[in-house]
Structure 1
Amino acid sequence: MKRTIIPYTPQALEYAKHLRQNMTYTEVKLWMELRNGSMMGYDFDRQKPMLNYIVDFFCKDLMLAIEVDGITHEDEKVLLKDPIRQDEIEMYGVSFLRFNALDIVHDIKNVVRTLENWIFEFEERNGVNEMVKQKRFFLENPKNRKRDNPPQPLPGGDNPAVE
Structure 2
Amino acid sequence: MERFKSRARRLRESQTSAEARLWQALRNRQLARWKFCRQHPVDRYVVDFVTLDGKLIVEVDGVTHSSPSEIERDEARTKVLEACGFFVLRVSNTDVYENIEGVLELIRSSLRFD
Cα deviation for residue 38 of structure 1 reads 0.5
- Percent of aligned pairs with the same residue? 31
Cα deviation for residue 84 of structure 1 reads 0.8
- Alignment correspondent of 2:20: 28
- Alignment correspondent of 1:58: 50
Higher share in strand: 2
The answer to whether residue 8 in structure 2 is matched with residue 16 in structure 1 is yes
CA distance in structure 2 between the partners assigned to 1:93 and 1:54 by the alignment: 15
- Alignment correspondent of 1:95: 87
TM-score, normalization: structure 1? 0.66
Higher relative contact order (CA 8 A, sep 6+): 2
Distance 1:41 1:56, change over 3 A: same
Structure 1 gap segments, 5+ residues each? 1-8, 127-163
Q: Is the 8 A contact 2:34 2:51 kept in 1?
A: yes
Q: How many residues align?
A: 114
Q: Which segments of structure 1 move beyond 3 Å, counting only runs of 4 or more?
A: none
Paired AA for residue 36 in structure 2: F
- Alignment correspondent of 1:67: 59
Cα deviation for residue 113 of structure 1 reads 1.3
Structure 2 gap segments, 5+ residues each? none
Q: Is the 8 A contact 1:12 1:51 kept in 2?
A: no
Q: Aligned-pair RMSD on alpha carbons?
A: 1.3
Distance 1:75 1:15, change over 3 A: farther
CA distance in structure 2 between the partners assigned to 1:80 and 1:10 by the alignment: 27
